[in-house]
Chain A
C-alpha cells in the first residue's frame, strides 16, 4: 500500500546539459513507444535520482505505515480481525522488501536506504506521523489510506521503470484484500451500535485533514515537473490523484451515513472536479519536516529495531556471500 511519490523536492537544475543528447533522444523515444526502461539501459542522472527517491520513499512508507496498524494487532476485536490484520501488516512489510529491491537496481544499496530512513534524511508518507487512537482509526487506515495508496499505485504501475512496475503489479494484487477488509471493518462499525458509529465518525474527523494531505501539495503550489511526466516517472498531478480518490470514496463514506468534516466539500458540476477547503499546507510542511505528533516515535521504533536486531545480523554474516545489486 501506502506510497505514491508525492513528497518530491523541487528540481533545482535538471542537469540535462550534461547528458549525451543522442542517448537522451533514444531514451525518450523508448518511453514514447510505451517500452519499459530496465536497469541495464542508459538513463539520465535525473531519472535515476528521482526514481530512487520515489521508490525509496514508497518503501519507507510501507515500513512506517505498518506501525500505526500493527499497534492494533494485539487489541483487534476478535480472532478473525486479528488474523486479517496480521496478514495485512505482513504484506505491507513484504511490499517494502519488493520496493527496496526495485530501488537497489538503480544503484542505491538497501543498507544505505535503511540508514537514510533512521537518520531522518529520507521521507515517508506524512500520514503515518499521526496516531491511531482507537480501533476505528485502524479501520480508517485499512480502508481509506489504502484506497488512496491504490489510486497512486495503479497510476505508477503504468510508469516507465520496469522493476518498479513489476513490484507494483505484485503489490496491487496483494492489496485487493486490504481494501475489502478495511471497507468490511468500517461497514461493521457503521451498522453497529451508536457508540461504534460515534467512534468511526470521530476517526473520520481526525484523519480527513491528513488524508487530504496524502496526495501531496496542491498543483497551485507544487509545480509538477513536465519532464518527470514526460519520462513517466510521475503519472498524474497531486490534484488529479486527490480528485480521483474523492470521486471514488466520498460517495462510499456518505452511503454509510457518515459526514466528512469539510463544509465546502462538494462536486462542482461545471468543472466535474471536487471543491474543498484548501488543506493546511503549513501543517503539512511542519509535520513532514519532523514536527508531527508521532515522527519521533516512528523513527525511534525503527532505530531501536535496527540496533537491537544487529546482533542477529552480525551472527548471520558470512564472508562467503557478497552484496551486489539485484539483476532485475
Chain B
C-alpha cells in the first residue's frame, strides 16, 4: 500500500485482511462537571473513560475545558453516583422524599447534591449536605426545594469520591483567552473578497 503521506508509509502498515481487535480492554467511566465562571454553579458536561481519578481529570481537562472558558472541574466515577427516580411535568422528585428522617447516630459524612431542573438539560450542582445517611440528608433539604420549581432528578455523590480541581490547578486555564486562532473572529476575510471582486471588474 503506497500512501500520499510519507508518515503513513513509514508506519509499514499491515495489509492483512480486516480482523477484530483484541477482546475488551475498557477503562472505567467517569462523569465530569465544569464551572464556566467563578461563582457560577458546576454543571454536568459528560463522561470520560480512564483508569483512575487523576487520569480522568486530565482527560476531562482536555475534552471539556480545552475550548470553553473554565474555572473548575469535578470528576467522579460514574458508578459512585446515586441516581433518584425521574419525575415529569409538575411532579418534583421531592414529593417522594420522606419528611423528618432522623440521623442514625453513625459518623457524619458530606455529600454533593445535584438537580436536573429541565428535561433535556444537564445536572447542576446545588450544594453540600452533611448527614449520617442519605435519607436523612434528603429529608433535611426537602423543605428548601419542595415548593420550588420541580426537580426531575437528583444525583448525590459522596464528597470524598470526587476529584476536585484545586486553586493551583487554575493555571491550566490561564492561556485559554490567548488562543485566538481557535476563534472564528481570527479569520475575517470580507475585505479580501471585496478587493478581489473589484480587481475582476
Query: Which residues in A have some Cβ–Cβ distance to B below 8 Å?
Result: 35-36, 38, 40, 71, 74, 80, 83-84, 87, 90-91, 94, 97-98, 101, 104, 109-112, 114-115, 118-120, 131-133, 162, 165-167, 173-174, 176-177, 179-181, 183-184, 187-188, 190-191, 255-257, 296-297, 299-301, 303-304, 306-307, 310, 313-314, 316-318, 320-328
Contacts and interface: CB of A to CB of B under 8 A. Distances in A.
A255 B50 contact: no
Contact of B29 (A133, A167, A306, A325): A325
Contacts, number: 169
Contact of A318 (B14, B52, B123, B155): B52
B24 to A, nearest CB: 5
A326 B192 contact: no
Contacts of B181: 80, 83-84, 87
A114 B66 CA distance: 24
A297 B13 contact: yes
Give 5 nearest A-B pairs by CB, closest first: A321-B28, A326-B47, A36-B120, A323-B26, A180-B187
Nearest to B53: A321
A132 B119 contact: no
Interface in B1-57: 1, 3-5, 7-8, 11, 13-15, 18-22, 24-29, 31, 44, 46-52, 55
B21 A187 contact: no
Given A167-B46, A326-B29, 9 more contacts: A84-B181, A90-B66, A111-B26, A180-B184, A300-B1, A313-B27, A321-B50, A321-B51, A321-B77
A87 B29 contact: no
Contacts of A306: 21
